[in-house]
């Protein structure tokens, strides 16, 4: 009798954390292969079905394989025909984050001597596989530890969690949050920046939190957002959405958006265990008066 196997195809941008992700998958018991030519995946999976020692396979496939990468879609169709269960995880990060990681590691980009040009090439050529992915994970704000925790939650809690929610605060003065599914503008809320003793205390401080949440308009806004999300999330799940990215923006991303993001996350966490909060601009403090 053939052994039933589970396959994860790990792909995405160079510098987005695929090596770290593969280490996590290995810790979770997956047989891991880096830079596997896609056309070899169905053959390897067929071999695994005849083996009792391998039941979970994770393979990194990206543009490093050159022209072989073009066979990925036909290989995926072959997996379907073989009735082999698979998931595609796509990792990405912002251009600035990718550049910083390559400079820190003092490594060249695998596709182009110019990190920026290499990033653009991947962005253009990975669009189709990104659309077909089960999970799209933006690692811009993730440490290696964050990524490991996130993957473990996603891959081990499928029976309990039908969707993973990422809530991010940001400042409009530092550009809008990219790739968010839902964005809420909280710049209409009373601004702690104008309270002298709160100017240097971010939205994680108790004093700033109390100030932002004491207003009726803040409570009404939170109530309405929660009502909307409780309507939307079950419908997103029915539609097959596995990851939901929600953004809350204020002017600098230091006070109001941080408080609201934390409060909405606290409430939603009661119903959705796979939920994460990050604050993109909390440490930037780029103050511009409204």
pLDDT at 1: 45
Any idea where the domains of the chain sit in the sequence? 6-156, 164-279
Determine if residue 63 is labeled as part of a ligand binding site: yes
- Please state, in angstroms and rounded to a whole number, the distance separating the CA atoms of residues 261 and 282: 12
Determine if residue 12 is labeled as part of a ligand binding site: yes
Strand partners, 182: 246
Look at the domain 6-156 and name its fold.
Rossmann fold (3.40.50)
Backbone phi, psi, residue 138, to 5°: -90, 115
Determine if residue 282 is labeled as part of a ligand binding site: no
Determine if residue 62 is labeled as part of a ligand binding site: yes
Three-state SS string across 179-225, please?
A: CCCEEEECCCCCCHHHCHHHCCCCCCCHHHHHHHHCCHHHHHHHHHH
Edge-to-edge strand order for the sheet containing 243-250? 182-185, 243-250, 164-171, 275-279
With a pLDDT cut of 90, the percent of the chain lying above it is 52
Any idea which residue has 């990925």 for tokens?
Answer: 72
pLDDT per residue over 32-50, tens digit each?
999 888 999 999 999 888 8
- Residue 195, SS3? coil
Whether 129 contacts 89, CB under 8 Å = no
Q: Taken in order 71, 75, 81, 86, is the CA torsion positive or negative?
A: negative
pLDDT per residue over 162-200, tens digit each?
688 999 999 999 888 877 999 999 999 999 999 999 999
Determine if residue 17 is labeled as part of a ligand binding site: yes
Mean of all residue pLDDT scores within the chain:
88
pLDDT at 234: 92
Determine if residue 240 is labeled as part of a ligand binding site: no
Is 52 or 115 the better-scoring residue by pLDDT? 115
Which helix H or strand E contains 108, and what residues bound it?
none
Strand partners, 171: 250
């Amino acid at each position: 009798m053939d052994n039933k196997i589970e396959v994860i195809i790990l792909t995405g941008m160079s510098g987005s954390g695929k090596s770290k992700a593969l280490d996590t998958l290995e810790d979770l018991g997956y047989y891991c292969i880096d830079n596997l030519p896609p056309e070899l995946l169905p053959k390897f999976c067929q071999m695994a079905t005849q083996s009792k020692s391998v039941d979970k396979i994770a393979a990194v496939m990206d543009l490093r394989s050159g022209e072989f990468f073009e066979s990925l879609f036909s290989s995926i169709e072959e997996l379907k025909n073989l009735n082999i269960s698979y998931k595609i995880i796509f990792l990405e990060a912002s251009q600035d984050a990718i550049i910083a990681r390559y400079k820190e590691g003092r490594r060249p980009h695998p596709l182009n001597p110019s990190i920026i040009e290499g990033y653009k090439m991947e962005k253009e050529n990975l669009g189709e596989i990104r659309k077909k992915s089960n999970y799209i994970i933006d690692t811009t704000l993730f440490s290696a530890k964050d990524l490991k925790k996130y993957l473990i939650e996603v891959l081990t809690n499928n029976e309990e969690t039908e969707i993973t929610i990422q809530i991010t605060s940001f400042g409009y003065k530092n550009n809008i949050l990219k790739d968010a599914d839902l964005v809420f503008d909280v710049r209409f809320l009373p601004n702690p920046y104008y309270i002298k003793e709160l100017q240097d205390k971010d939205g994680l401080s108790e004093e700033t939190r109390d100030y932002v949440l004491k207003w009726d308009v803040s409570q009404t806004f939170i109530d309405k957002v929660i009502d909307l999300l409780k309507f939307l999330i079950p419908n997103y799940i029915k539609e097959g959405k596995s990851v939901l990215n929600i953004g809350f923006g204020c002017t600098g991303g230091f006070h109001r958006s941080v408080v609201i993001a934390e409060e909405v996350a606290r409430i939603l966490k009661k119903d959705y265990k796979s939920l994460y909060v990050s604050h993109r601009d909390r440490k930037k403090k780029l103050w511009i008066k409204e």
